[in-house]
Amino acid sequence: MKRKFLTTPYMLWMLIFTIIPLILVFYFSFFESGPDGIKFTTEYIERVFEPIYLKVIFRSFALAVISTIFCLVLGYPMAMILASRELKRRDFLIVLFVVPMWMNFLARTYAWMTLLENNGIINQILMALSLPTISILYTDKAVILGMVYNFLPFMVLPIYSVLSKIDRSIIEAAEDLGANPLRTFFKVIFPLSLPGVLSGIIMVFMPAVTTFVISRLLGGGQYMLIGNLIEQQFLTTGDWGFGSSLSLILMLILLLTMGIMSKTDKDREGGRFF
């Protein structure tokens, strides 16, 4: 079957619509066309490292880290329950778990806007119970809540897929040798599930760092994460050089984090989704 030329349209497509656009991002980060032709500049890259922008980058990473930790703490027990053999009707529960993910993530974020409003449903219920009301919409807390809500399945599914493949006899062996459940968990189950945990972390952390929608809707118009900063450069300020530089730095940091993570994740078992 010598049909290599069939890939040609695809390769051309990817060259034009993936490689060249990335080269353009690179180009706009480092080159500037002035009245006397195109010249090299590091001005845009340097601006990324100004304190106000570093603060935004730092906040994006901090919020993403916090959300990832919440997802892990909430998601790991859920994955264990889904993978446990005592569970009846497991397939049904898993489909039920995946369904919200198929709903547009804007819709899910919007749903939280309506719940968290000052006279929203949560506060109505709290008032009816004569409890103090909360006002967390347009704060860090609402943004973290939105991230955890949107990305929790990305943490649960990879962990679940690894946990459900663990050989039961290994766990039984640990029990036979006298390990209590806690010891069995920390010495056997958790280490075996690490590949799933790592891909879960990557899959939550990546979209959490780069989002600009959750922060805009739940954080309010003035709320700035690196995604909002990039969006602003391209759609409001029209500063392509700075926007490209921000994107470039963001991609570099993400590639580095993922590179370090996947080095630990030697067998790529955990990467599978379904």
Partner 1 sequence: MKSFLMRSYTFLIFFFLYAPILVLMLFSFNESKSRGHWGGFTLKWYVELFQDSQIVSALYYTVTIAIIASIVATIIGTLAAIGLTNMRGLPKVITLNLTYLPLLSPDIVMGISLMLLFIFVKLNLGFLTMLLAHITFSLPFVIFSVLPKLRQISEDTYNAALDLGATPFEAYKKVILPQISPGIVTGFLLAFTMSIDDFVVSFFTTGSGVSNLAISIYSMARRGINPKINALLTLMFICIMLLLVFVNYRMSKEDNKERRVDN
Q: For the segment 84-113, give every residue that binds partner 1 (CB under 8 A).
A: 84, 86-87, 93, 95-100, 102-113
Question: Which residues from 158-197 bind partner 1, rule CB under 8 A?
Answer: none
Binding residue (CB under 8 A) for partner 1 from 70, 151, 205, 212:
212
Question: Which residues from 113-132 bind partner 1, rule CB under 8 A?
Answer: 113-115, 117, 119-121, 124
Q: Which of these ranges, 34-42, 65-73, 163-171, 249-257, lies near partner 1 under the rule CB under 8 A?
A: 249-257
Binding residue (CB under 8 A) for partner 1 from 48, 71, 78, 144:
78
Residue 222 found at the interface with partner 1 (CB under 8 A): no
Nearest distance from C-beta of residue 212 to partner 1, angstroms: 6
Give 44's contacts (C-beta < 8 A, 6+ positions apart).
29, 30, 241, 242, 244, 245
Binding residue (CB under 8 A) for partner 1 from 163, 205, 247, 270:
247
Cβ count near 91 (within 10 Å): 8
Q: Which of these ranges, 49-57, 59-67, 182-190, 214-222, lies near partner 1 under the rule CB under 8 A?
A: 214-222
Residue 133 found at the interface with partner 1 (CB under 8 A): no
Nearest distance from C-beta of residue 60 to partner 1, angstroms: 12
Burial of 150 (0-12, 13-18, 19+ CB in 10 A): buried
Q: Which of these ranges, 36-44, 165-173, 193-201, 203-211, lies near partner 1 under the rule CB under 8 A?
A: 203-211
Nearest distance from C-beta of residue 234 to partner 1, angstroms: 5
Q: Which of these ranges, 42-50, 55-63, 162-170, 211-219, lies near partner 1 under the rule CB under 8 A?
A: 211-219
Q: Under rule CB under 8 A, how many of the chain's residues touch partner 1? A: 81
Binding residue (CB under 8 A) for partner 1 from 155, 157, 230, 242:
230
Nearest distance from C-beta of residue 216 to partner 1, angstroms: 7
